[in-house]
Amino acid sequence: KGLSREPMVGNAAPRIIETAAGMMNAIGLQNMGVRPFISEKLPKLRKLPGAVVIANVFGFTIEDCLEVIGALNDAEGIAMYELNASCPNTSHGGMVFGTDPALLHELTARCKAAAKRPLMVKLSPNVTSIGQMAKVAEDGGADAVSLVNTFVALSIDVVTRKPRIANVTGGLSGPAIRPIAVRMVHEASRAVKIPVVGMGGIVRAQDAVEFMLAGATAVQVGTASYADPRAVENIANGLRRWCAAHEVTHVSSLTGAALLN
């Protein structure tokens, strides 16, 4: 999860459940806070061979995000910031940053101005036009966009007639959302010139290839790691084998190479 200004304990349990071809979570952005992360966790991450640290940042106001970025600016060993635009803005009635173009532009522009490192904006999929929101982030100064975050979902226990998650709704992820995520990555990549990082249900190398063909420059893996902690390593190795088997010399040549017309 991302880093906030202060530590967060997250939501009450149950806050994660399995669904058909996926999972739902309402963790509540539990995290240790940016300063303990810098002093306790970042030094360990920096010792991992070949590790590249991208710090995910969020806040409930723009000022929150700026404070987190300011703290991270003084830390060593971070390559990039990923700004979570799917949080509710408490200073604007709880509206999610990433669903309002004006709010997203302001958030991106102010965070980019404060950041001493490249800034990637993680977009909410719960919008009418993901291409428009990607362009707003680009216009605000984002160096890249990542998508998709989870879809707002609801699961009900038919015996108790109560929500299966204590928070009532949660974020749906996993293979069930992959075709939608691939479509959104394609739309975003056509709307912007900056790199698009794709995610949403990637569990094998072929899934990563599909996202890249749709326009992704790189991919992220999340839910698959719950079933297999070595999923990222396995997918990366599988991608190398896939490229060799299909005579793909440079993986970057896959980006946007789908024959969609």
- Among 65, 87, 111, 243, the active-site one is 87
Domain assignment present for residue 48? The answer is: yes
pTM: 0.95
What is the chain's alpha carbon radius of gyration, rounded to the nearest angstrom? 18
Answer yes or no: is pLDDT of 240 > 60.
yes
* Peptide bond before residue 221 is cis, with ω within 30 degrees of 0: no
List the CATH number of the domain containing 46. Answer: 3.20.20.70
Q: Among this protein's residues, is 111 annotated catalytic?
A: no
The pLDDT of residue 239 is 98
83: in domain = yes
Which residues is 25 bridged to in the sheet?
Answer: 16, 171
Task: Round to whole Å and give the CA distance between 157 and 45.
Answer: 40
Mean pLDDT to the nearest integer, 222-251: 97
Expressed as residue numbers, the domain containing 40 is 16-254
- Does residue 261 lie within any of the structural domains? no
In a domain, 7, yes or no: no
CA distance 78 to 260: 37
The total of structural domains in the chain comes to 1
What pLDDT digit, counting tens, does each position of 175-195 carry?
A: 999 999 999 999 999 999 999
1 assigned to some structural domain = no
CA angle 193, 69, 42 (to 5 degrees): 105
Token reading at 110: 């102010």
SS3 237: helix
Q: Is residue 247 part of a domain?
A: yes
Structure tokens of 142? 């984002």
The answer to the question of residue 196 being in a domain is: yes
Considering the domain boundaries, does residue 10 fall inside one? no
